[in-house]
Amino acid sequence: MCGIAGILRLDDQPTAEQDVAAMLDYIRHRGPDGQEIRVHHPCVFGHARLSIIDLEGGFQPMQADANVDHGRLIVVFNGEIYNHRELRKQLQAKGHQFKSDHSDTEVLAPAYRQWGTEFPKRLRGMFSFALWDEDKRQLLLARDRIGQKPLFIRHTENSLLFASQIPALCISEPPTINRSSLLSFLRLGYTGYDSLLNEITELPPAHVMTIHADTGEQKLIPFWKMPRVSKSYSRTDLLADTTDLIRKAVHYRLEADVPLGCFLSGGIDSSIVASLAHEELTKRGEGPLRTFSVQMPVMAYDESEAAQAVAKHIGTNHTQLVASANGDILADLRFLISVYGEPTADSSILPTYWLSKATRQHVRVALSGDGGDELFGGYDRYRAMRIIQRHRWWLKHLPADMISSANPKSKIARVKRLIDAAKQADAPTQYQSIMHLFSSSQLNQLGFEGIDPSRPYDAMPQWPDEVDPVHAAMRWDLMHYLPMEVLRKVDRASMAVGLEVRCPLLDSHVCELATHLPPEVLMPTGKPKELLRKIAGDLLPSFIAKRPKQGFALPIGQWFRGDLQEPVRELFRSGALASLGLSEAFSEQLLDEHLATSHDHTHRLFALLELAIWKQWLDHPTPPPSAGI
């Protein structure tokens, strides 16, 4: 696990080692155990290492020397290849030799020589990497199936730059603002694969990109796609099969040459992972598993009691941490912006960072339950899509304008969103209605002219071609919401403090099974995540298996009415939003409405706050300070 960076010159000019050294300054938090640079014209590769596996033999950038059949290869890698031992045996049987004992990075070069550009489909893990082929004078970039590990690319006139995080690509003059991506951010709360900066894109998950150094020719090649959903699935051993796949996924993710633990929220996803991990470590004689939960500052957001109950039931060595911003939330937000170089509208970035920072004091690797909601149907919005499918004929006629609530989590507010969505013409716009951050009318007032207020919601980009709207929504989340919002948040918050997070539920075999199953199998009678709940029922106390979902959230809306009120107003008046073409007056109006409790603009205010902090950083980008680890 680490941070990677590099430059490929496309004009046959010398590559500058000092430029990559400057890039590493912006990602050194990802790899506090050492930085290395390797120059091989026209490439320069840089690596910031977080030592997890093969502490002595896993140094990068890694070189595979030329032989009679192949030229020299250079690899720089971020992530973990969980099946590296099996791949090593297969490659050794075909005559490939290895220098290290068990470096997962070392399998990449011989795998490329043996199987060509399709070899990433054989990798079981989370990864992004770059490989330089001296013979072909070709750079290969690759990213894992779901997008757990990031890889950003910047195209300039004479070069291609890549890095684990956006700030490393801003070492020269920062790119200009991508207005289209800014609009997408305000609609959904996160960007797509086109970043907020022109010239900078993110390599899509499950893709390989090749770039020829002499011609500049680029190819983008997919190496995996989700299986088609089954029209019917009646296997009686489904529960046992799913449990077995998750158990094997957990097994693979317990390899580490450093201390390892597990996040434990008290929800069923992390509790299943913790239970199976503790079971495996106990069998090995390496237990008990260390688990970590966080006590939130407000009872309504706190799950620590449930987490303690799970830990006691399965017998882990549990540590309860206290969520704390050390009195300066804005300082933490500024630090995080300097780490990942892009805003997010998800305020749970803060408790994720606080939990990661506290956990890093004890271990270097933490398992998590991420992916369970998207794969197994854990969100209420999937149930809403089913209700709309069946009852839209009468729901669309209800007068939603007569229903209002200042609390977005109230039953009244949920009913209003359901009616608003039912009034939309098709599944993509219905889902956008449920998911939107700013409406078209609000975007007009914020500064985006020409948006038709009579069309309050646009179709979701790249909506899957699925007849069933629930399955389409789940697949859309797997392709967009999960990698672009959830996994970015987890990677950025954890790697800010040099903590590796592994997600067993996102194992490729688990993903392939879950995406193959129809919604009525995952969520019989519309019950969220019912298949996982049945697994939890065999492993955990019944009250845990039946617990409703509780998001990992902060009372940030209350804080906007308290200590954050004046600092936020000052930021809104600072000129940062105005320089993005956004209305400061309307931003303040939203704050005033929120203070008056006539509306709850929590998520919109947080998005604007992040944009203001981000623009201030972008005007004077500097490497992030130490996180204190």
Q: Which of 222, 123, 150, 130 is nearest to 486 (CA)?
A: 150
Q: Long-range contacts of range 105-109, CB-CB < 8 Å, 24 or more positions apart? A: 105/58, 105/60, 105/62, 105/75, 105/77, 105/81, 106/57, 106/58, 106/62, 107/81, 108/62, 108/75, 108/77, 108/81, 109/62, 109/64, 109/73, 109/75
Distance CA 266, CA 243 (A): 19
140 plus 212 within the same structural domain = yes
Which tokens belong to 517? 């199953």
Q: Which of 440, 464, 466, 467 is nearest to 452 (CA)?
A: 440
268 plus 398 within the same structural domain = no
Residue 624 lies in a domain: no
Identify the domain containing residue 386 by its residue range: 380-460
Q: φ, ψ for residue 309 (rounded to 5)?
A: -65, -40
534 plus 589 within the same structural domain = no
Q: Are 508 and 145 in contact (CB under 8 A)?
A: yes
pLDDT given at position 306: 87
Name beta bridge partners: 208.
Answer: 142, 221
Which tokens belong to 420? 């608003």
505 plus 602 within the same structural domain = no
Distance CA 161, CA 159 (A): 6
What 3-state class would DSSP assign to 174? coil
Q: Are 543 and 256 in contact (CB under 8 A)?
A: no
Residue 607 lies in a domain: yes
What 3-state class would DSSP assign to 367? strand
365 plus 261 within the same structural domain = yes
Residue 627 lies in a domain: no
Q: Are 357 and 492 in contact (CB under 8 A)?
A: no
197 plus 311 within the same structural domain = no
Name beta bridge partners: 220.
Answer: 209
Name beta bridge partners: 263.
Answer: 292
Distance CA 5, CA 64 (A): 19
**53 CA to centre of own chain:** 23
pLDDT given at position 124: 96
Distance CA 267, CA 255 (A): 24
Residue 200 lies in a domain: yes
- DSSP string covering 491-506: HHHHHTTT-EEE-GGG
Residue 84 lies in a domain: yes
Q: Which of 628, 627, 623, 629 is nearest to 27 (CA)?
A: 623
166 plus 260 within the same structural domain = no
Instruction: List, in order, residues 6 or more apart from 442 with CB less than 8 Å away.
Output: 586, 604
> Measuring CA to CA, how many Å separate 447 from each of 212, 459, 580?
41, 21, 9
Distance CA 218, CA 581 (A): 34
Asked if the bond preceding 259 is cis, omega within 30° of 0, the reply is no
For residue 85, what is the enclosing H or E element? helix 84-93
Neighbours of 500 (CB within 10 A): 25
**382 CA to centre of own chain:** 20
What 3-state class would DSSP assign to 285? coil
> Measuring CA to CA, how many Å separate 550 from each of 136, 300, 436?
52, 10, 20
Domain boundary among 170, 195, 222: 222
For residue 466, give the amino acid letter.
E
Name the pairing type of β-strands 138-143 and 207-212: antiparallel
Name beta bridge partners: 154.
Answer: 161, 200
- Give Dmax over CA atoms of the chain in angstroms: 77
User: Domain of 59: which CATH number?
Assistant: 3.60.20.10
pTM here is 0.95
For residue 348, give the amino acid letter.
S
Cα atoms in the 13 Å half-sphere on the side-chain side of 544:
30
Residue 282 lies in a domain: yes
475 plus 426 within the same structural domain = no
* 3-class SS shares of the chain: helix, strand, coil, % to 5: 45, 15, 40
* DSSP code for 479: I
Asked if the bond preceding 167 is cis, omega within 30° of 0, the reply is no
Distance CA 505, CA 250 (A): 8
Distance CA 578, CA 471 (A): 40
Residue 231 lies in a domain: no
Distance CA 88, CA 198 (A): 41
Split into its structural domains, the chain has a count of: 4
494 plus 453 within the same structural domain = no
Q: Which residues of 454-469 are buried (b: 16+ CB within 10 A; e: fewer)?
A: eebbbbbeebbebebb
Tell me how long the chain is.
629
What 3-state class would DSSP assign to 360? coil
Which tokens belong to 352? 């994720």
The strand ranges marked E within 223-298 are 260-263, 290-295
Domain boundary among 435, 460, 485: 460
87 plus 173 within the same structural domain = yes
The strand ranges marked E within 244-372 are 260-263, 290-295, 317-322, 365-367
581 plus 602 within the same structural domain = yes
Instruction: List, in order, residues 6 or more apart from 439 with CB less than 8 Å away.
Output: 456, 457
71 plus 165 within the same structural domain = yes
Q: What angle do CA 349, 351, 357 make, to 5 degrees?
A: 100
- Walking along the chain (629 residues) 10 residues at a time, the average pLDDT comes out as 92 87 94 90 92 75 81 94 96 90 91 96 97 96 97 93 96 88 95 94 97 94 90 76 96 93 93 96 93 77 83 94 71 94 94 91 95 93 93 88 71 86 92 92 89 77 87 94 96 95 97 90 85 92 79 82 94 97 97 94 97 96 74
Name beta bridge partners: 3.
Answer: 48
* DSSP code for 194: B
pLDDT given at position 629: 54
Dihedral sign of CA atoms 59, 62, 64, 66 in order: negative
pLDDT given at position 42: 92
Neighbours of 235 (CB within 10 A): 11
Which tokens belong to 342? 């892009």
Domain boundary among 222, 254, 280: 222
> Measuring CA to CA, how many Å separate 375 from each of 150, 454, 521, 586?
20, 34, 12, 38
Residue 628 lies in a domain: no
For residue 201, what is the enclosing H or E element? strand 200-202
Asked if the bond preceding 624 is cis, omega within 30° of 0, the reply is no
Q: Which of 349, 335, 355, 351 is nearest to 298 (CA)?
A: 351
Distance CA 223, CA 146 (A): 12
